[in-house]
Amino acid sequence: MKFLQRNSFTQTSMSQPHEDVSPPLRHPYSGRIPPELTGGQYVRNSGNPVSHQDLGKDAHWFDGDGMLSGVAFRKASTDAKIIPEFVNQYILTDLYLSRKTTSVASPIMPSITTLVNPLSTMFQVMVATFRTIFLVILSNLPGSQQTIKRISVANTAVLYHDGRALATCESGPPMRIQLPSLDTVGWFDGVRAEGESEISQAGSDDSPFGGSGIFSFMKEWTTGHPKVDPVTGEMLLYHNTFMPPYVHYSVLPKSNKKAPEHRLVNQPVLGVSGARMMHDFGASRSHTIIMDLPLSLDPLNTMKGKEVVAYDPTKPSRFGETTGLADYFPITAESDDYDQCRLYYYEFDLAMDSRNHVKSQWALSAIPFEFPSVRPDREMQEARYIYGCSTSTSCFGVALGRADKIDLLVKMDAKTLIQRGKKMNATSITGCVDRRPVSEILQEKKEDDPINIFRLPPNHYAQEPRFVPQAYSTEEDDGYLLFYVFDESQLLPSGDCPPSARSELWILDAKNMRDVVAKVRLPQRVPYGLHGTWFSSQDIACQRAVESLRNLEEVQRKKHEWVNGGGQIRKSWMVLREKLERAVG
């Protein structure tokens, strides 16, 4: 495990911040843009820190302020060509607006590097925590035009549910985003989003995330990966806290008014053994899998001489399942024997007369595999093909503090590999169905190979791909993969990115995993980031009405008016306030 010294996160080309934002602009492309993309938009989320001047401070890939980078595909008329338009915007969270309107020089929240570093003392963690508390209190005092009510940076993923595009991060509720401009609307509390009309379609008795009480803010912390049922439109979420019962569960129907009996908010999930670093969960249309892993996220760990985020190898991994038998659940998992992420298959036997044991658990392939995704209409169902990322130069380990270089995109026929695994009676835990390394799979190039790999050209690195189905498709893999690509031969000898560096959006045939059907040249570099999604033309057209948007210039203007409209007392207070902000960094 490598921890950062002198903020290597912001010094590497992998994640070097890019602070420029771009309004929608048309850009050239080569190849043929599929007609299925007409009117839709591909959007990717990433952590992109507002400021990073202090290279002596801890920093982590996951600390950065959320920034959305999107490409919309417009058509002026039915006979016109499809025109790609690039736009990127910071997500205007409370933390972002506070940083941009104060003299605070470094991130308000403690860095994840501080929380996971075994060399961090209890004193260091407490200082970082009390600094955050001080700045939150200061944001509530006169002179602040942006109170810090929520501590999420909204930098993890994006999704669509019930007329809302939402950006997520597990340290707060989702943030609504307007498409295709990527402007920030406001926090979504499970009933309505800030900026929407007060007259909501929701029932008058609907409760928001968190409910009431002194710790309600914790119970609105929402997973970065909510699941949306493509059939019913229901959204499944969980909320993770430091206090028993630790995990709460919510289900939001597509329309709260039409199906109020299906609405659940903050229902406790019993049986979780402690405060956990719980990033994701599994769900099908009839089952939900909660992972109770021995990776704790508990501020009280510092009193035990442990990191706030600590792994305990003496405790078992436990899976909680709501109903019945989950007989198909492939996920990525870390293997202690091989120290890398693989696509793993679990089969849980939860029959009434069983002992709730894991019936099968083995890797489908030996190659590194991360960022798994499936065709959108196969989510929460049995999907045959799983797409993801791999690397030919290293493995996806516990790469804390940096991003991994993705030079391979992988398509796995999970159904075929699972059948092979059952037939060969693969060894539990350490078993692996296909043990071929990446080099062997690339060399063989079999037509009926259950593993297909697309290799990028030298010095080119991709990001997470997302699947867009072909119109009237008959096969599950009929469609395209969209992903950002950066050519690192543009880097300077020092490793820095010049202002002229640019990324591209590639469109790959998802069936043959060979043909790049189009490349869109973007006006700037898109920093390597996390998760994205595809918003269809129908998604964009069916967004709920918005009354107001968050606006940085408006917040800055109000601050200026407040200072200049209150005489010498206000000016003196602001001088003192700025000194306090600079003193705490």
Spatial contact of 326 and 319, defined as CB atoms under 8 Å apart: no
Residues facing 345 on adjacent strands: 330, 362
CB neighbours of 459 closer than 8 A, spacing ≥ 6? 487, 488, 489
Task: Give the pair of three-digit tokens for residue 107.
Answer: 């991130």
On the CB side of 47, CA atoms within 13 Å amount to: 24
Q: Is there a binding annotation on residue 225?
A: yes
Amino acid identity for residue 87 in this structure = V
Chain position carrying tokens 């595809």: 534
Task: Describe the crossing of helices 567-583 and 122-138 by its angle, rounded to 10 degrees.
Answer: 160
CB neighbours of 320 closer than 8 A, spacing ≥ 6? 269, 271, 272, 289, 290, 291, 292
Indicate the helix (H) or strand (E) that contains 441. helix 438-444
Amino acid identity for residue 188 in this structure = F
Indicate the helix (H) or strand (E) that contains 578. helix 567-583
Q: What is the radius of gyration, based on Cα positions, of the chain?
A: 24
Cα torsion 270, 272, 277, 283: sign? negative
CB neighbours of 420 closer than 8 A, spacing ≥ 6? 433, 434, 450
Q: At CA 502, angle to CA 498 and CA 507, rounded to 5?
A: 160
Torsion of CA 80, 181, 502, 495, to 10 degrees: -170
Task: Give the pair of three-digit tokens for residue 451.
Answer: 């593993």
What's the per-residue H, E or C state across 149-217? CCCCCCCCEEEEECCEEEEECCCCCCEEEECCCCEEEEEECCCCECCCCCCCCCCCCCCCCCCCCCCHH
Identify the CA nearest to 299 among candidates 149, 130, 95, 153. Answer: 130
Task: Give the pair of three-digit tokens for residue 210.
Answer: 């968190």
Task: Describe the crossing of helices 567-583 and 552-564 by its angle, rounded to 10 degrees.
Answer: 130
Q: Is there a binding annotation on residue 460?
A: no
Q: Is there a binding annotation on residue 531?
A: yes
Sheet of 264-268, strands arranged across: 227-228, 235-240, 247-252, 264-268
Binding residues for Fe cation: 225, 279, 531
Binding residues: 225, 279, 531
